[in-house]
Amino acid sequence: MSTPLQPVILEAGLAAVWRATNDGVAAQITHIALGDAGYVPFQSQVGMRSERVRYPVADGSRVSPRQIHLTALADGATEFWVREAAFILSDGTVFAVWSHPTTALAYKSANVDLLLAYDLELTAVPAGSVVVESTGAGLNLALSAELAALAAAQVSGMLRDLHQQDRLTAVEGRAGGLEQARDQMRTDLEKARAYTAKVEAETDTLGKVAAWQSESQAEVLRGMGQSGLYLTRGYTFGGNAAFDRPFAENWNPAGIHNHPNYDGMPGTAEFSTIVNGYYLRTRHNDYLLRRPANAGSAFLATEAVSAPALPAAVANAGDVAAQIAAMRGLFADYAAGQWPAGFGWTLSYVEFWFEPLSAAFGDTFDSFRHQQRISDLDSAFREAMRYNAGGYKDRFENVPYEPPVVRWIENGKPVLARLRYRIAAVDVSHLGDLRPHIETVDDPAYRQGFGRDSGRFRVLEGDNAPGKLDELMAAIPGLDGAGANLAETYREYGIDTTIRRWDGAAATNAAYYNRFARAWADAANRDAFHRGFNDPTLFAALTTRGEVLPMGMDGRVYRFSYAIPFELVLRTPLEGWNPHGLPEAGNLSGAGSQADPYNGWRRDGTFYRVPTAFYSGGAPGDAADTGMADAWVSDGGGTARSVKGSGIYVGLPEIAGIGSIRVRHPIYPVFHEGSHAFAELQGLRREQGETLASLATSLIDTQRRQIAPLTV
């Protein structure tokens, strides 16, 4: 029996069909891929979320001009619920994807053949433009292996009967030389054992050296800087001065940009990081504002971080003009230093951990626009080498660099792992207005290179004790999820040491990120410590998740993750404001123009609800921006309304009498700013500033003395 499917045909699939049609041929579906991720597919995604297996099409036929039937046999030891299916073209392009957030297609059992039979509805492509390329095996391939095995068993039985008589006849003739052959076998076996032991010893030593080399590199990097952002991508910048090369910023800090036509998706480009000495380069991120789900949920599960509720002062103000006036009043209060209702803060962060090395893997966090393009280790390495060798980059910036390493040796075998990352967020509105606790970073290199301030911020720190940054990071749960509580205990010198909070009152909840703690007094007679040997921005959390590489010590198992703060996002009442009462569209139609308006808004690309009249000007832009222009959306009564994006801006468009309000405040630490060279530069700048201040004071005093007689 066939399962009827109407998959989402991806933009890449449409492009492949268009190319094939122009060449006078039909696109060929050759493989079916299965995965275990459940979600709502969208056309702009570039592949599957979590591919587990891929099988060639066994048979296929055309049912009608817009419907094809195809079959495949799912075999092998992999076991999972099939919640995602993709249909692959002969050139490797993912043509179409089916998935559902709550429904599974089937269950793939280990070592049990699963027959796949699907009828595909292809209404979004020209009739006859897609065909099936099969192996020709048909559904009978499900039985062929069993029949062959049965026949082989029968033949083997007959051969055993024939050979048994031959062996019995030859026994007497061989008996005389049996003793001699046994002695020779014993000698050969001892030689083989000795050789095997030698090879195992050498392999064990090589594995240990590889593990030490990997960690030695991290050890050196820890001394060269601090945990933080390492580099952003350089685009067209160049010049004779060193500051012409971007480091922690290109056009904006970490390449942040605007996607206000998407709900809760801060535009963020690629960047590389070094955290606790481990290097990683991201894909183009465009992450969603989603928090870790509660403890006990699926690994890496998240939930949306909602904006504060729309204040009643706006919702109940009256018509659209009255609501605009009320909303402007809230922003005027905010600009004047107040903290009005409807405003809040969301802290986003970059999280890192080591996973056991596996041949296949999926993406680790969601985006409306970007996903990892590769899903297996071999392809990941080939893609990294392809781009690094010639300096070219993936067109859509969907290939990260997450390096595999030898972590340590266990039972004589190297333990292999791969560094992974994600960007997530938590609500920190309970901490109130955070503006008094942050300041703009003075970055002379950026100012010289771009002629403006960097737009990067820092959280004001205390001296040698937890401060506001620690309070912010303490709101972030590790990989066990929100609400988890774990004690961090070590066995040393015959006693157990449990890490305590800085105030010493109780054990640290190591399931949340922290960097300051207390334990027993050490050899320097200090019981307070900072995580790491000398890394001021290293935050770590303990986890029990089996997906994280374990490390065994003293009969205990430890798993850790690391994090750095990324940015503080101001959440405003604009995100939940819809004064025109525009409907949410199920199936979007229209072009967004006044003559052909959208029939409603959607969260994944047409999130337009704020009246254009609320603003009086534009917002600072970037080449990577989307959704910055006005759009027209039809309200419930059929009237086209001019509206702007309700999503996240770097800075809002100008508001009459107020100006532009800064929304995104990048607060990430920078690796290079933890170096000795940067410390020397900062010291020199301070000395120069003090010298200039002293000279200015002396000059003013001299001028006062010179003009004093004239004023008597």
| Domain map (residue ranges) of the chain | 8-132, 225-308+343-570, 578-645, 675-708
Strands 3-5, 8-9: pairing kind: unpaired
- Pick from 635, 643, 504: nearest CA to 581: 635
Is 74 in contact with 55 (CB distance < 8 Å)?
yes
Sorting pLDDT into bands at 50, 70 and 90, what band is 553?
Answer: confident
User: Which structure tokens are listed for 397?
Assistant: 């910036």
Report the range of poorest mean pLDDT among 258-272, 467-481, 545-559.
Answer: 545-559
Q: pLDDT averaged over the chain? A: 86
Rounded to whole angstroms, the Cα distance separating 25 from 19 reads: 9
Amino acid at 425: A
SS3 of 240-307: CCHHHCCCCECCCECCCECCCCECCCCECCCEEEEECCEEEECCCCCCCCEEECECCCCCCCEEECCC
Q: How far apart are CA 229 and CA 458, in angstroms?
A: 13
Q: What is the pLDDT of residues 578-637, one digit of tens each?
A: 999 999 999 999 999 999 999 999 999 999 999 999 999 999 889 999 999 999 999 989
CA distance linking residue 135 with residue 145, whole number of Å: 16
Q: What distance in Å separates the CA atoms of residue 142 and residue 74, rounded to the nearest whole number? A: 9
The β-bridge relationship of strands 94-99 and 8-9 is antiparallel
Contact 233, 255 (CB under 8 A): yes
Q: What is the mean pLDDT of residues 642-669?
A: 97
Higher pLDDT, 688 or 204: 688
Residue 528 pLDDT > 90: no
Q: Pairing state of beta strands 114-121 and 3-5?
A: parallel
**Residue 66 confidence (pLDDT) above 80:** no
- Encoded amino acid at 585, one letter: A
Stated as kind and residue range, the H or E segment containing 56 is: strand 51-56
Confidence of residue 71 (pLDDT cuts 50, 70, 90): confident
Spatial distance between the Cα atoms of 383 and 400, rounded to a whole number of angstroms: 9
pLDDT of residue 322: 98
pLDDT of res. 146: 42
Picking from 75, 83, 70, the residue whose alpha carbon sits closest to that of residue 29 is: 70
Instruction: Pick the more confident residue, 704 or 217.
Output: 217
Q: Which pTM value belongs to this model?
A: 0.73
Residues 703 and 712: their CA atoms lie apart, in Å, by 15
Provide the 8-state DSSP code for 684. Answer: H
Residue 133 has pLDDT above 50, yes or no: yes
More confident residue, 348 or 529: 348
Q: Which residues pair with 528 in a beta bridge?
A: 518
The average pLDDT across 386-411 equals 85
607 burial type by CB count under 10 A (0-12 exposed, 13-18 middle, 19+ buried): buried
Cα–Cα distance, 568 to 347 (Å, whole number): 5
211 close to 408: Cβ distance less than 8 angstroms: yes
3-state SS assignment for residue 360 = strand
Q: What is the residue-wise DSSP string for 142-203? A: HHHHHHHHHHHHHHHHHHHHHHHHHHHHHHHHHHHHHHHHHHHHHHHHHHHHHHHHHHHHHH
Q: How far apart are CA 150 and CA 63, in angstroms?
A: 35
DSSP string, 379-446: HHHHHHHHHHHH----TT----B--EEEEEEETTEEEEEEEEEEEEEEE-GGG---GGGEEE---HHH
pLDDT at 650: 96
* Structure confidence at residue 356 (pLDDT): 93
- Segment 341-361 shows an average pLDDT of 95
Q: Is the dihedral of CA 233, 237, 239, 242 positive or negative?
A: negative
Which pLDDT score is estimated for 211? 77
Q: Tell me what the mean pLDDT of segment 639-657 comes to.
A: 97
Q: Which amino acid is at 151?
A: A
pLDDT reading at 160 higher than 90: no
Among 122-131, 319-328, 650-659, the minimum mean pLDDT is found in 122-131
Percent of the chain's residues with pLDDT above 90: 48
CA distance to 296, 323, 581, 582, 647, per residue, from 315 (Å): 38, 7, 11, 15, 19
- Taking the CA atoms of 98, 99, 100 and 102 in sequence, report the sign of the dihedral they define: positive
Q: Report d(CA 223, CA 538) in Å as an integer.
A: 13
What integer pLDDT is reported at residue 144 of this predicted model? Answer: 37
**Of 316 and 122, more confident:** 316
Distance CA 235, CA 232 (A): 9
Q: What phi-psi label fits residue 16: left (phi over 0), alpha (psi between -120 and 50 degrees) or beta?
A: alpha
Q: Token digits for 456?
A: 């990067």
Cα gap 215→222, rounded to integer Å? 10
For range 558-587, the mean pLDDT: 97
Res. 325: pLDDT tops 90: yes
For the chain, counts of helices (H) and of strands (E)? 8, 34
Confidence check: pLDDT of 662 > 90: yes
Nearest to 422 by CA among 346, 348, 515, 486: 348
Alpha-carbon gap, residue 226 to 276, rounded angstroms: 8
Residue 168: what pLDDT?
Answer: 55
